[in-house]
Chains A and B, each alone.
Chain A
Amino acid sequence: DAGVIQSPRHEVTEMGQEVTLRCKPISGHNSLFWYRQTMMRGLELLIYFNNNVPIDDSGMPEDRFSAKMPNASFSTLKIQPSEPRDSAVYFCASSPSGGSGNTIYFGEGSWLTVV
């Protein structure tokens, strides 16, 4: 079975440029999460969706960050304009509904470097 699929795996971009990260959750999963991982702050939840609806975006750092989930099989995380401090690994994760709804499965991450 395919896991959570993220793209790109690696991106290097210049400060000020727009960055779009993409995610395809596991088929049938109702919840989707975007996490950011840095050495200093560890794993931070940015936003999560339930049935394509954003439920909690309190972790989104600032207005430069936005996330969308137009359908059950696709989500994007956009940073515009990007800054060097946005350099991190961005993980997408998904979770099924029901009794195991709290078990989330991660993608392999998008490694972002802003220079």
Chain B
Amino acid sequence: GQQLNQSPQSMFIQEGEDVSMNCTSSSIFNTWLWYKQDPGEGPVLLIALYKAGELTSNGRLTAQFGITRKDSFLNISASIPSDVGIYFCAGSSSNTGKLIFGQGTTLQVKP
């Protein structure tokens, strides 16, 4: 079946540093999504990517849909304490909305 490998598993960084995380797939996806989950809450959509090569920004967040359609990355610039949480990538290879989720990257930011 389809698999998503997300890395790194966890990160502990200093406030102000930039962060990068990525996901790779064993098969081609036509949609990549990035979510953030705060403790006790559901995942919240950060960025959606629908086209190979697409680069999209949302404030300090930037994500790209890899041209091979098998990978995506998320960058966070100038991290702040409220960036703490678990970041998930998710991909879909169909138009039905069925998503496969990565294992998550736990981000901790030291003030």
Contact = CB atoms under 8 A, between A and B. Distances in A.
B45 A103 contact: yes
Given A102-B33, A109-B42, A55 B96 contact: yes
B98 to A, nearest CB: 6
A107 B40 CA distance: 11
B41 A102 contact: no
Contacts, number: 60
A43 interface: yes
A115 interface: no
A33 interface: yes
Contacts of A107: 42
Given A102-B31, A105-B45, A43 B97 contact: no
Given A42-B104, A100-B48, A103-B33, A109 B41 contact: yes
B103 to A, nearest CB: 5
A56 B48 CA distance: 23
A93 B35 CA distance: 13
Interface residues of A, number: 24
Contacts of A109: 41-42
Contacts of A45: 98-100
A43 B101 contact: yes
Interface string B72-106: 00000000000000001000100111111111100
Given A31-B97, A95-B97, A102-B97, 14 more contacts: A42-B101, A42-B104, A43-B101, A45-B98, A48-B98, A50-B97, A56-B96, A93-B42, A102-B50, A103-B33, A106-B42, A108-B40, A108-B42, A109-B42
